[in-house]
Amino acid sequence: MARLRLFANLREIAGATEVDIDGATVGDVLDKATATYGEDFGRALAAAQVWVDGEQATPDATVPAGAEIAVIPPVSGGALAARTSVLAEIGLAAILAVVLVITNALSLQWLAVGAVLVGGMWAFDVSRSAESRGLAVASAPGLLGVLAGVLATYRFGAPGMAAATVGATLFVLMWGVINPDLRSIESIASGVSIAMTGAFGAGSLVLLRLRSEEEAAAFLFVAGLAIAVAWLSDRSDMPVLDPLVAIIVAAITAGAIAGAVWAPDLLNTVAASVAAALALVAGRNQGTLLRAGGFFASGPIPGSLHYLDGLFMASGPFWLLLTVLA
């Protein structure tokens, strides 16, 4: 018996998030699901990608006992699409990245405003994506976490960022008191993850700008190049590198460039970029877990800002390495 996890319009058609279906192969399980839920379900399956226990699978793949099969259609607003447009995939994320670059160049105060704007939009996007798979997650605690992270860091520095990151948990628990739908372990864990990451990431951006404009610009260049290369790898039918490997290679290369051209110290910047590269991969994995319910190296990821998932995880390690090595 396998557990079939459904997302987006497949979940809506079936009227369930998870169903248990017996089958020797992935194809057997999907055929039985189609027979149960009808032709509309079958048509939606035709464009979906399938993972078995976190590994992408074909219809003839064997299904072990107790396996979890995740079926995620490439969707945008519930409509099927074989390939989303460039604007839908990375357009908004690119615009917000430019906002951070411009505000960083203007002043610390403007960077703080940009961090709140970008962090708030990211927290809202990941919360909505989690809700699209049937998980109750409030967006308000994430927004408050980002705001608290920026304000506390701006006023008190690193201790303020640390306090805001821990305090973000309280926002989630408070919303659980208000809304009974948010009291499940998965809802609380997801909400805490979003709120703490938002507070930590946005606060760390401010800490980087407190160090210097050049080091904040170096981080934005590292994250931006890594995200762009990951997007190209995701979009390619025959990528040269796995998206996760591409992130690491691009981030370290960008760190070397930034360190050689404008950052104060080449070796420190490269070391910080290594830490950021690993955190970018961790952030991407955290994002797929929150948005789609599993760790997927490739395939469609719900949400308009999923390419920013790694940015908020990586800013902290980048700042920490620079601070420790200074």
Q: 51 and 130: one domain? A: no
What tens digit of pLDDT does each residue of 196-230 get? Answer: 999 999 999 999 999 999 999 999 999 999 999 98
Q: What is the pTM of this model?
A: 0.78
Task: Identify the pLDDT of residue 165.
Answer: 95
Burial 180-219 (b: 16+ CB within 10 A, else e): eebeeeebbebbbbbbbbbbbbbbbbbbbbbeebebbbbb
Under the banding of pLDDT at 50, 70 and 90, the label for residue 79 is very low
Q: 6 and 109: one domain? A: no
* Residues 67, 3 contacting (CB under 8 angstroms): yes
Q: 183 and 291: one domain? A: yes
Among 80, 99, 127, where does a domain finish? 80
Where are the alpha helices (H) located in the chain, listed in sequence order? 8-14, 26-37, 39-46, 86, 92-106, 108-132, 140-156, 158-178, 185-211, 213-235, 243-261, 266-292, 309-325
* Residues 223, 314 contacting (CB under 8 angstroms): yes
Q: What's the residue count for the chain?
A: 326
Tally of structural domains, the chain: 2
Among 48, 80, 112, where does a domain finish? 80
What tens digit of pLDDT does each residue of 94-103 get? Answer: 999 999 999 9
The predicted model gives 230-239 an average pLDDT of 76
What tens digit of pLDDT does each residue of 24-47 get? Answer: 999 999 999 999 999 888 887 876
Orientation angle between helical segments 108-132 and 309-325, nearest 10 degrees: 140
Task: Identify the pLDDT of residue 77.
Answer: 36
The predicted model gives 49-71 an average pLDDT of 85
Under the banding of pLDDT at 50, 70 and 90, the label for residue 121 is very high
Strand partners, 5: 18, 70
Q: 180 and 308: one domain? A: yes
Task: Identify the pLDDT of residue 297.
Answer: 61
Q: 157 and 213: one domain? A: yes
* Residues 258, 218 contacting (CB under 8 angstroms): yes
Q: 99 and 65: one domain? A: no
Q: How far is CA 53 from the centre of its chain?
A: 20
Task: Identify the pLDDT of residue 82.
Answer: 38
The answer, yes or no, to whether residue 307 has pLDDT greater than 50, is: yes
Under the banding of pLDDT at 50, 70 and 90, the label for residue 55 is confident
Range of the domain at 12: 2-80
Helix, coil or strand: residue 115:
helix
Task: Identify the pLDDT of residue 74.
Answer: 56
Instruction: Say how many C-beta atoms besides its own lie within 10 A of residue 117's C-beta.
Output: 17
Task: Identify the pLDDT of residue 239.
Answer: 64
Q: 183 and 286: one domain? A: yes
Q: CATH code at 13?
A: 3.10.20.30
